[in-house]
């Protein structure tokens, strides 16, 4: 050895990066030691190797600065182990390699072998050295046998290890991957996955893979600062102690999609001095690199949080994490479950949607001093959970900025909420424009009163519970369920649009007939996805064609009957506990299951319009400059028993004919449009010769049905 002063590692920073440098130099020294042994056996001298590979000589000279004077090669190998151990004992930081040792029980040589495998990951020039030393294989990555010889050579016989015993733990734990398992084991080529090499260097990326995200502990508030009811916060604050005492090793959080479960688990992890690794559980299924999660969590000192979108009856099989033994957490919706081999010490917490007071706290924290107005109105109007509030606050600031303002206003939050709704719901349901006023809807007085009752229910849905007696207990929720029943074209969808406009909310429609799937369980899954998102985003959900799923349940005569009843039962139960606003439309109210009707807060009947109403609908849909005389309009309204939708189509057709002819809408164009509309229905227009008598009979029948509906 060269004559150098003795140094220890006191000046090496006590950080993961400093620790990595020590192991890296120790592994390089083992490699150079192997070259020295080969030189003594007749191979090229070290000087010749350094001449061919100058970078190796540079590493060697750097290493000599740490070694004592006149130490032998054999003693130097042991010296590295001793001095690194002393340095580790003095370091008060969390070190990835030590976490690896503690979680997997790896020896010093195992850890050094891991670093030796990754030398080429750090410096590609090592690949050329490997290729020469492994000739005639000509491999730039090390083989199993090469690593064992490099780590063991020059040590006493009791310290020598076979290639397999030295590297088997690394392979079994997923720390090292084999690239060619089809060849003899001694020739296996091994490598360290890139995300683990980053982790051992203390530089974990924000997105280590496309299915997980990394958060440092400082990102999250302390458990006592979480915005939940006092009782829930107290339970959360006790969790770190339970984990430390070994009484708890798994945590299951249930909540709606808008709840910030990441913040909850992150605060618990922070209390343990740990970071957080959030895993998209659905995306991670089947990923080839999922086995790396355990080592990644150990080296990054992170608690894994698996997020799943579970449907009714679904059970998630929790993945087994190798090389990790700490807390594992899961975030699910209110349906489905988790099956785990560690479930004997699992705690389940249900995080309910925030009330008015908690929403205000969420908004104030999310706005973080950003100028704003109408906060009381914002808090009262947007019934969303903390995660979505955080998202909407950030979007609102961007919306205000696009208008040249710093101050956030109510309509900025509306725009932000609409953007969020589109991101989450547009692939699941059809967005309808929330337009119109109640004056635009021509219905009977009884129907109008019922619609206003629905609106009042929606306006006071959260505050109503304060006006209820003790007999209600916890059975009342803030959900509003309405059934709009009536023939097609009688204004059900239009009423839903006006309701949304009056409430200032978004409206999304789902065709229940299209949701039904022939495959068992798929219908419930489809319903779950749209109901869960609509509920958490607090939009009005319009379930069209309710007869498809909510018809009377049948006797079970076949498997199809049984599963159809299960689908109906699921929707009944889900709507009963629904926390948002849902409107179900039906063309045949008499076919709706009575159990479903009992669960409706309001049933609104929509009857076919009578002559006076038909006249009003025509006047609303014809352009203001039309040239159809009033007497003719009265005659049409009296003779043509059309629904509101048919009248709309007729006026649209007449307007198109007027555009084509370059005139204002006149009687002849309206008459042609009526003729077309009746033919579409397979009938003769009463305004044609010979058609009036038959239609008068229809009108009388329609009047009779209308009278019965109002009486009911």
The structure tokens listed for 66 are 């740490």
Residue 359 tokens read as 């929403």
Instruction: State in words which class domain 212-351 has.
Output: alpha beta
- pLDDT value at residue 313: 77
The mean per-residue pLDDT over the stretch 692-709 comes to 47
| 159-168: pLDDT as tens digits | 445 677 888 8
Question: What does the pLDDT average to over 555-577?
Answer: 60
Question: Tokens 């029980």 — which residue?
Answer: 105
Structure tokens at 210: 């496309």
pLDDT in tens, 35-78: 999 998 888 899 999 999 999 999 999 999 889 888 999 899 99
Question: In whole angstroms, what is the distance from residue 128 CA to residue 3 CA?
Answer: 30
Q: How confident is the model at residue 553 (pLDDT cuts 50, 70, 90)?
A: very low
Of 20-34, 475-489, 497-511, 650-664, where does mean pLDDT reach its minimum? 475-489
Is residue 431 exposed (0-12), middle (13-18) or buried (19+ Cβ within 10 Å)? middle
221 pLDDT more than 80:
yes
Model confidence pLDDT, tens digit, residues 127-163: 999 999 998 888 899 999 999 889 987 665 444 456 7
Return the pLDDT at 548.
67
Res. 703: pLDDT tops 60? no
- The mean pLDDT of 358-387, rounded to a whole number, is 95
- pLDDT, tens digit, 9 for 90 and up, residues 589-607: 666 667 777 778 899 999 8
pLDDT > 90 in the chain, percent: 62
CATH 1.10.1040.20 fits 438-467+476-606, yes or no: no
Give pLDDT, residue 709: 45
To the nearest whole percent, how much of the chain has pLDDT over 70? 88
Q: What topology does CATH give the domain 611-711?
A: Helicase, Ruva Protein; domain 3 (1.10.8)
Residue 110's pLDDT is what? Answer: 93
Structure-token pair, residue 24: 């890296």
Which residue in this structure is represented by tokens 């010296």?
79
Bridge pairing between strands 581-586 and 540-544: parallel
Instruction: Please determine, for residue 564, whether its predicted confidence score (pLDDT) is greater than 80.
Output: no
Q: Which residue has the tokens 């999250």?
A: 220
Q: Which pLDDT score is estimated for 15?
A: 93
- pTM comes to 0.84
Question: Which of residues 702 and 143 earns the better pLDDT score?
Answer: 143
Task: Tell me the average pLDDT across 316-322.
Answer: 88
Q: Which of 424, 414, 412 lies closest to 387 in space, CA to CA?
A: 424
212-351 and 438-467+476-606: same fold?
A: yes
Instruction: Specify the residue for token string 């007027």.
Output: 658
pLDDT in tens, 249-268: 999 999 998 999 999 999 99
Is-contact 492 606, C-beta < 8 A?
yes
User: What contacts 180, CB < 8 A, 6 or more positions away?
Assistant: 187, 188, 189
Specify the residue for token string 């020598």. Answer: 160
Average pLDDT over residues 358-371: 95
What pLDDT does residue 522 have? 74
Q: Which of 32-46, 220-234, 493-507 has the lowest mean pLDDT?
A: 32-46
So what's the pLDDT on residue 155? 61
Low-confidence winner among 448-457, 502-511, 589-598, 674-683 (lowest mean pLDDT): 589-598
Task: Label residues 212-222 b or e (16+ Cβ within 10 Å = b).
Answer: bbbbbbeebee
- What integer pLDDT is reported at residue 222 of this predicted model? 95
The tokens describing 613, both together, are 């109403």
C-alpha dist (Å) from residue 546 to 503, 509, 520, 584: 23, 12, 20, 6
Res. 345 pLDDT band, cuts 50 70 90: confident
Output the pLDDT for position 159: 40
Burial of 332 (0-12, 13-18, 19+ CB in 10 A): buried
Q: Does domain 356-417 have CATH number 1.10.8.60?
A: yes
pLDDT band at residue 561 under the 50/70/90 scheme: very low
Determine the Cα–Cα distance for residues 675 and 695; give it in Å rounded to an integer: 13
Furthest-apart CA atoms within the chain: distance in Å = 122
Answer yes or no: are the C-beta atoms of 647 and 707 closer than 8 Å. Answer: no
Distance of CA 258 to the CA centre of its chain: 9
Residue 269 has pLDDT above 50, yes or no: yes
In the chain, domain spans? 16-200, 212-351, 356-417, 438-467+476-606, 611-711
């Amino acid at each position: 050895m060269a004559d150098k002063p003795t140094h220890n590692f006191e000046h090496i920073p006590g950080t993961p990066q400093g620790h990595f440098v020590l192991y890296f130099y120790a592994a390089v020294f083992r490699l150079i030691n192997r070259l020295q042994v080969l030189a003594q056996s007749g191979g090229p001298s070290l000087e010749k190797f350094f001449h061919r590979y100058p970078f190796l000589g540079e590493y060697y000279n750097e290493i000599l600065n740490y070694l004592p004077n006149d130490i032998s090669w054999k003693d130097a190998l042991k010296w590295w182990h001793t001095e690194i151990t002393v340095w580790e004992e003095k370091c008060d930081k969390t070190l990835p390699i030590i976490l690896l040792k503690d979680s997997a029980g790896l020896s010093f040589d195992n850890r050094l072998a891991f670093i030796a495998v990754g030398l080429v990951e750090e410096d590609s020039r090592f690949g050329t050295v490997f290729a020469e030393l492994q000739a005639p294989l000509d491999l730039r990555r090390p083989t199993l046998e090469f690593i064992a010889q490099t780590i063991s050579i020059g040590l006493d016989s009791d310290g020598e290890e076979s290639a397999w015993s030295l590297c088997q733990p690394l392979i079994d734990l997923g720390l090292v991957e084999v690239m060619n398992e089809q060849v003899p084991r001694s020739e296996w080529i091994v490598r360290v996955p890139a995300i683990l090499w980053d982790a051992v260097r203390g530089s974990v990326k924000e997105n280590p893979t496309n299915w997980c995200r990394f958060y440092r502990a400082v990102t999250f508030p302390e458990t006592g600062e979480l915005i939940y009811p006092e009782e829930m916060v107290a339970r959360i604050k006790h969790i770190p102690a339970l984990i430390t005492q070994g009484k708890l090793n798994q945590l299951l959080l249930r909540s709606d999609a808008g709840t910030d479960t990441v913040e909850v688990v992150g605060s618990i992890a922070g209390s343990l001095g740990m970071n957080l690794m959030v895993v998209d559980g659905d995306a991670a299924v089947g990923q080839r690199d999922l086995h790396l999660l355990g080592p990644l969590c150990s080296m990054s000192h992170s608690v894994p949080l698996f997020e799943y979108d579970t449907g009714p009856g679904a059970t998630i099989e929790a993945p087994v994490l190798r090389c990790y033994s700490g807390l594992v957490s899961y975030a699910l919706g209110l349906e489905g479950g988790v099956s785990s081999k560690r479930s004997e010490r699992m705690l389940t917490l249900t995080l309910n949607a925030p009330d008015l007071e908690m929403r205000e706290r969420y908004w104030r924290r999310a706005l973080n001093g950003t100028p704003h107005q109408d906060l009381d109105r914002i808090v009262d109007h947007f019934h969303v959970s903390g995660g979505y509030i955080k998202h909407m606050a950030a979007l609102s600031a961007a919306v205000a900025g696009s208008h040249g303002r710093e101050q956030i206003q109510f309509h900025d939050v509306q725009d932000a909420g609409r953007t969020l709704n589109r991101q989450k719901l547009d692939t699941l349901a059809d967005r309808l424009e929330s337009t119109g006023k109640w004056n635009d809807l021509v219905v009977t007085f009884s129907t109008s009163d019922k619609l206003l009752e629905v609106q009042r229910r929606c306006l006071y849905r959260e505050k109503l519970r304060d006006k209820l007696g003790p007999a209600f207990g916890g059975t009342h929720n803030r959900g509003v369920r309405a059934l709009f029943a009536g023939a097609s074209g009688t204004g059900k969808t239009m009423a839903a649009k006006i309701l949304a406009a009056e409430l200032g909310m978004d409206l999304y429609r789902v065709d229940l007939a299209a949701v039904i799937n022939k495959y068992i369980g798929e219908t419930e899954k489809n319903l779950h996805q749209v109901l869960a998102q609509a509920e958490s985003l607090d939009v009005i959900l319009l379930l069209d064609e309710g007869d498809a799923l909510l018809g009377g349940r049948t006797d079970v005569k076949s498997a199809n009957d049984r599963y159809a009843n299960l689908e109906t039962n699921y929707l009944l139960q889900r709507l009963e506990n629904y926390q948002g606003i849902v409107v179900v439309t039906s063309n045949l109210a008499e076919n709706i299951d009575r159990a479903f009707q009992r669960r409706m807060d309001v049933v609104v009947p929509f009857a076919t319009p009578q002559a006076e109403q038909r006249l009003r609908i025509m006047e609303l849909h014809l352009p203001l400059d039309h040239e159809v005389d009033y007497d003719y309009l009265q005659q049409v309204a009296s003779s043509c028993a059309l629904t509101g939708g048919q009248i709309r189509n007729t006026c649209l057709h007449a307007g198109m004919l007027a555009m084509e002819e370059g005139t204002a809408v006149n009687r002849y164009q309206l008459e042609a449009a009526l003729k077309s509309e009746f033919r579409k229905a397979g009938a003769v227009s009463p305004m044609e010769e010979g058609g009036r008598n038959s239609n008068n009979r229809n009108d009388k029948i329609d009047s009779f049905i209308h009278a019965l509906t109002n009486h009911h």
